[in-house]
């Protein structure tokens, strides 16, 4: 998919479903935590070589990729014998909204669009990030996949969400930075799908093959 201008017919959208990390919030916090901060603190805690610790963690994370455990702070706290929530708090100053998030959410509210956060983030991580940013004040509903027992990659997540939250898939826009999750939403029947091209502000933009993408929300303001 090329990087041509994205045009959204807002008259056809009643609900906007948002991912959190990499969509509303800068993914740099999560990448730095899991790839740098946690391996260092894990190595310190278990008296390991940092390179060895990083390799070990990388392998263990990959084994759980795409499952609910991959996103679960309690699971990794138990598995690694460290307090993941506490370690995240050590670098919570890195938690940042992506550009134009508040303006976009405000405009959606003014246009009477339902604003719903659906995230794979563990409730402990969700709580930490909402407290740091205050974005919950501009959202109508918030759901963690952990309350449904299935990640967004699973069709069971979407089925469970639909029982809890009213939305018409044909009149819903879903925005996420994960191609696997976008494919899952597409399979469920969400009509309007949009990817984030630069979820981590410290990394180069990339494409999500098969999906339209934006860098920042000012590209699709309903007032624009």
pLDDT tens string 26-46? 999 999 999 999 999 999 999
Banded pLDDT at 151 (limits 50, 70, 90): very high
pLDDT tens string 63-114? 998 899 999 999 999 999 999 999 999 999 999 999 999 999 999 999 999 9
Q: What is the pLDDT of residue 224?
A: 54
Strand order across the beta sheet in which 114-119 lies: 141-144, 114-119, 15-18, 172-176, 192-196, 213-214
- Co-location of 109 and 173 in the same domain: yes
N- to C-terminal Cα separation, the chain: 23
Q: Which residue range(s) make up the domain with 172?
A: 10-27+97-220
In-domain check, residue 69 = yes
Stretch 143-167: mean pLDDT: 97
- Overall pTM > 0.85: yes
- Co-location of 89 and 163 in the same domain: no
pLDDT tens string 175-202? 999 999 999 999 999 999 999 999 999 9
Mean residue pLDDT of the chain comes to 95
- Co-location of 137 and 190 in the same domain: yes
How big is the chain, counted in residues? 224
Q: What is the number of domains present in the chain?
A: 2
Burial of 14 (0-12, 13-18, 19+ CB in 10 A): middle
If one compares 5 and 110, the residue with the highest pLDDT of the two is: 110
- Co-location of 21 and 41 in the same domain: no
Q: What is the pLDDT of residue 5?
A: 79
In-domain check, residue 5 = no
């Amino acid at each position: 998919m090329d990087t041509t201008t994205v045009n959204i017919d807002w008259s056809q959208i009643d609900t906007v479903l948002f991912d959190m990390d990499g969509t509303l919030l800068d993914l740099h916090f999560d990448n730095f935590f899991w790839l740098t901060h946690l391996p260092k603190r894990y190595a310190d805690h278990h008296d390991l070589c940092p390179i060895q610790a990083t390799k070990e963690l990388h392998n263990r994370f990959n084994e759980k990729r795409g499952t609910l455990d991959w996103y679960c702070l309690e699971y990794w706290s138990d598995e690694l014998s460290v307090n993941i929530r506490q370690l995240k708090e050590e670098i919570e100053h890195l938690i940042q909204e992506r550009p134009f998030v508040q303006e976009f959410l405000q405009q959606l509210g003014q246009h009477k669009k339902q604003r719903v956060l659906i995230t794979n983030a563990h409730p402990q991580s969700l709580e930490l990030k909402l407290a740091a940013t205050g974005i919950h004040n501009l959202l109508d509903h918030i759901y963690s996949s952990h309350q449904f027992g299935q990640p967004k990659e699973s069709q069971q997540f979407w089925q469970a969400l639909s029982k809890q939250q009213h939305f018409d898939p044909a009149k819903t826009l879903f925005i996420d930075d994960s191609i696997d999750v976008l494919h899952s939403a597409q399979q469920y029947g969400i009509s309007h799908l949009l990817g984030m091209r630069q979820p981590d502000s410290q990394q180069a933009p990339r494409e999500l093959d098969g999906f339209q993408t934006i860098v920042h929300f000012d590209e699709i303001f309903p007032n624009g």
